Amino acid sequence: MPRSAMRRSLRRHFLSARPLLAPGLMILSMPVLAQTGDSPPAAPVEFPPVLVQGTGIPVENTTAGPVQGFRALTAKSSTRTSTPIEQLPQNINVITRSLIDSQLSITLSDAVRNASNVQPVDTRMIGNVEQTPVRIRGFGAELWTDGFAGNLFIAGDRDGLVNVERVEVLKGPSAVVYGGGAGAPVGGVLNVVSKMPTDTAKYQFGTTFGSYWYANPYVDVNQPLNDEKTVLFRLTSEYTGSSSYIDVLNSSRFSVNPTLTLTNRTDTTLTLQGFVSQAYQQAYPGLPVSGTVTGDYTVNRNLYFGNPNIMPSYSKMYGVTGTLDHRVDDVWSVNVKARWSRSEMQQNSQSAFLDATGTGGTPLFPPSTFDVNNIEVYDQQQEISINPTVQAKFSTESTKNTLLIGGDFSRVTDWGFMNVDTNGNFCFLIGFGCTPSLVNLQNPSFTTPYTFPVPGRGEGVSFFNFNNTYLTTGFYAQLQSTINDRFHVLAGARLASIDITYNEFATGAMVTRVTQATRLLPRAGIVVDLVKGLSLYGSYSQGMKWVPFSQTFAQPAPEFSTQYEAGVKLNINDTLTGTVALFQIERTNVPVRLSALAATLSQQTSRGFEADFLYQPNRNWSVLASYGYTNAFFADPAGPGIPAGYRLPFVPEHSGRFWLNYQFDESVVPGLSLGAGIYAASNQYVDAFNLWQTGGYYTVDAKIGYENEKFRAVLSAKNLTNNQYFVPYSWLGGQVAPGAPLSIYGQLAFKF
């Protein structure tokens, strides 16, 4: 394209975006050329591995981007553009499929422990109404799939791995290019990137089996449907069934994920992804802190708090995602993503909460007698989201640039309730002589049957009964520029809006509350290459969101967050790569639970340090090491509810992961590999008032594997030393859960 024509094209398309693109106007005014060699292929072609000189480790071109051993070379989640990780001004952790398979990760939570400062979803949760059960850098973060917000209670089989190509971990606010759900993320994102069809037929069938009758058969079929390879199909599916080291618990999960791609193999691709996912398990309320981490008696760590005949709870999700990619020319390309989904969950449990703390963590009658109450939580959501973007890649004499302009719209309807029956306990406490429902945890016998609590019947009350609508919209522009092959600049802004209508019926008459907010959320960062393989970076970003399930009569304002980050990036001859980062995140209007019946809003701050390194000197050795230090605390000057300086619960001050893998040479033992590692975390507070804390712990894992082109067999041991420990458990504010004991797993897989 002639330079004059290119200049006119850029002026015509960017003039309306000038206010958001002021940092890049100088670049755009220079003579420009089409940037070649950077655009992804229009069709999902599978390329043969490319050998990286100096390491002997081939680079595999996956549908999510190139991967060398356990190392991803690019990431897309941070910017919605495929960008080398060394050029991103933040610490991005990518958990690749190769690492997941090598370690024989059993769940998504198992896999993301490889990233620094990440505390994953507790796999015992089902139907959890906490929207941010993942914690990154001390704050609640969200679980997304292919760039779309997860539903507000993480529905379906969230632990399955059969359809996972990689997991990209974004830390801190990610507002510029992300919205949907309750708004732009403020604490961070785990973005699960799905497997996509390719033009090469391949099939994999296998099963994972292990302790506590664990069974996980799965299938992964990839098949072009015509000779021209313009119609591509992939199907992944799995079923997981297991008992548990915790009494009573039995889980059953499955997912089906068909994907169809239509492409002309030159410039246009349409991909349709379907998903159906369900999970069934008895709701686990954890164990009270009394008798586990405090108190003069000891509760059986495997005890299930509740009637052993309680019915299973369930969580379901299904929907479809569509993605249209069209490359206009060597400069311009268009991407449109849309998703419709529906989700539902029902959580039936028995729990205590009438104690002096209001958390159920201490006995109602010392030393060890607790109240038993029936609880039902139900929620149903329907969502539609759309996200169109326009991208331009162009160069000047001294710069390479990627411009992204886009918008998004999301509408979520959310209906649910929480009903409670205190089973005579409340009547007994106020002196009316009723028969209470109690259990002595020194000699537990749960005889109170579970029945559905009905408001107005017995002691049944409605804690909340709502019908909400969440509307979120955003318009954004982002410019990435590499200047003189040394300075990598990222600048962007998002005009974000949220419009929330909350209708509450718990008191009988409908009470309506509305929250509306619009805010310009900036993001900026720079990476400076000091010498080859060594860079400094710094960045600034903001986020804004509405927090669902905050049952308050005074409508809270939206939650805001601001992050400052600086660090060092390292890449020594593609053998030693990593990032060292310093960060500070400030959040306001954050809901925090004080007890089962009370909550408040708070200001919170998190400061810390983290390091993530991967050493792959050759085809034999792979060494992964991560460490995170986090000081997360309440920062309200006046201390409303919780004094300033108190530590946030669920956050270890220190945590880290080390993993060593050795692959034998083909001339020695072809296909054989050995691996071992350790994960460790320090003490964690259970509650916001810092009354109780769990101890630090570590777990040691090991595996032996064999793999060739047609077959894979892996045997692994989790918590090899059978270390016994407790971790905080997100329930009513006073619960913990036991860590998993020694568990053995095996996997057999056949590839065609």
Distances (CA, A) of 29 to 15, 32, 391, 426: 12, 8, 18, 73
pLDDT for 132 equals 60
Identity (one letter) of the amino acid at 365? F
The percent helix, strand, coil of the chain (3-state, each to 5) is 5, 55, 40
Domain ranges of the chain: 76-591+599-611+618-751
- Tell me the C-alpha distance between 665 and 182, whole Å: 51
Q: Which residues of 411-425 are buried (b: 16+ CB within 10 A; e: fewer)?
A: bbebbbbbbbbbbbb
Cα angle 449, 451, 454 (rounded to 5 degrees) comes to: 145
For the chain, how big is the Rg over CA atoms in Å?
Answer: 26
N residues, the chain: 752
Residues 180/149, Cβ–Cβ less than 8 Å: yes
Residues 17/477, Cβ–Cβ less than 8 Å: yes
pLDDT for 530 equals 97
2 upstream amide cis, omega within 30 of 0? no
Residues 463/418, Cβ–Cβ less than 8 Å: yes
pLDDT for 482 equals 98
CATH of domain 76-591+599-611+618-751: 2.40.170.20
pLDDT for 667 equals 87
HSE value, Cβ hemisphere, 13 Å, CA-based, for 54: 8
Which residues does the chain have with pLDDT short of 70?
1-55, 127-132, 151-153, 175-176, 179-185, 547-556, 594-598, 638-640
Q: Taking the mean position of all CA atoms in its chain, how far away is CA 693?
A: 25
pLDDT for 19 equals 36
- Helix/strand number for the chain, H first, E second: 5, 43
Kindly state the tokens that stand for 385.
Answer: 């989201």
Cα angle 642, 647, 649 (rounded to 5 degrees) comes to: 95
Quickly tell me which residue has 């422990």 as its tokens. 113
Q: Which of 664, 739, 673 is nearest to 705 (CA)?
A: 673
pLDDT for 590 equals 83
- Tell me the C-alpha distance between 64 and 44, whole Å: 10
Classify strands 202-210 and 188-194 as parallel, antiparallel or unpaired.
Answer: unpaired
pTM of structure: 0.90
